[in-house]
Structure 1
Amino acid sequence: MISNISLVTIYCLDQDSTRDFYVNVLGFEAASDVTMGEFRWVTIRHPAQPELEVTLMTPGPPLDEDAAAFVRRQLEKGGMGGLGLRVEDCRKAHAELVAKGVTFLQEPQERPYGVEAVMRDNTGNWLVLVEPREFAG
């Protein structure tokens, strides 16, 4: 049966600049970069979780043109979700990323499940930073 999740996809408008953002700003590492005809497969992964790769996909095939245009519009207006990223200290991570020029939609906030902040990547996807704690219900 299924043993784990090995691949997730984030849409972006420019694979190079998005890869650079995740690698140079967030600390991920470049994984695959393969061109197959007109299609380019670009992935990143976090060094602490190398079995999970994130595909940086531009809106296009296998999406039809209407769907690809919709995704592009959503990216351009910041309407796409992205990833939840676990951090040890959300306030410290927030301060470090603000110093690197990252845009935050929500400052660190106490939640029943931990401390959470919401940021944008360079394409407009929102990413949630979570410093988890045991949820008491």
Structure 2
Amino acid sequence: MKIATTQIWVHDQDEALAFYTEKLGFEVREDVTMAELGNFRWLTVAPAGSEVALVLMAIPGAPMFDEERWKLANEAMSKGVATAVFFTTEDVRADYETLSARGVEFTEPPEERPYGIDCGFRDPSGNHFRLSQLTQVANPA
């Protein structure tokens, strides 16, 4: 078994698409709108060469989410508690400079940690992400 996709909620799929492709440099994997499902849009992006893609999913309305659940999902996402995606890189400081120049909003600059160098950023929907240059990987028990 392999993980193929992981989903993150976004407020606006077009805005998210521009952020992930233009600022992070990801490529579009799939962008399909299904009229038979009420114009549901399946939109995935990924870093070049990655086997796993991110589904940029609009928070659904009725009938999947009633108004209260829709509001709760939006609120949680905007506070950064709805995502847990961690990216790794070979040179976190260089990527930090490149992405900052492209307008990516970092919540924390690169800092030394016991496992490597780590920083945090967010997307236009408020999702928080970690970007790490790992120097030490935990051994399995």
TM-score bracket, normalised by the shorter chain, equals 0.7 to 0.9
Other-structure match for 1:59? 59
Q: TM-score, normalised by structure 2?
A: 0.85
Given the alignment, which residue of 105, 110, 113 partners 1:111? 113
SS in 2 for 1:68: helix
Give the strand-richer structure, 1 or 2. 1
Contact 2:92-2:132 within 8 A present in 1 as well: yes
Is 1:21 equivalent to 2:19 in the alignment?
A: yes
For 2:64 and 2:129, locate their aligned partners in 1 and report how far apart those are by CA, in whole Å: 23
Structural RMSD (CA): 1.9
Distance verdict in 2 for CA 1:82–1:12, change over 3 Å: farther
Contact 2:106-2:121 within 8 A present in 1 as well: yes
Q: Which amino acid aligns with 1:46?
A: P
Distance verdict in 2 for CA 1:40–1:135, change over 3 Å: closer
1:52-131 alignment runs, 5 A limit: 52-60=52-60, 63-65=64-66, 66-131=68-133
Other-structure match for 1:30? 28
Deviates more, 1:79-88 or 1:13-22: 79-88
Contact 1:90-1:116 within 8 A present in 2 as well: yes
Gaps spanning 5+ residues in structure 1: where? none
Identity %: 34
For 1:107 and 1:71, locate their aligned partners in 2 and report how far apart those are by CA, in whole Å: 28
Other-structure match for 2:43? 42
Gaps spanning 5+ residues in structure 2: where? none
Q: Which amino acid aligns with 1:40?
A: R
Aligned residue pairs, count: 134
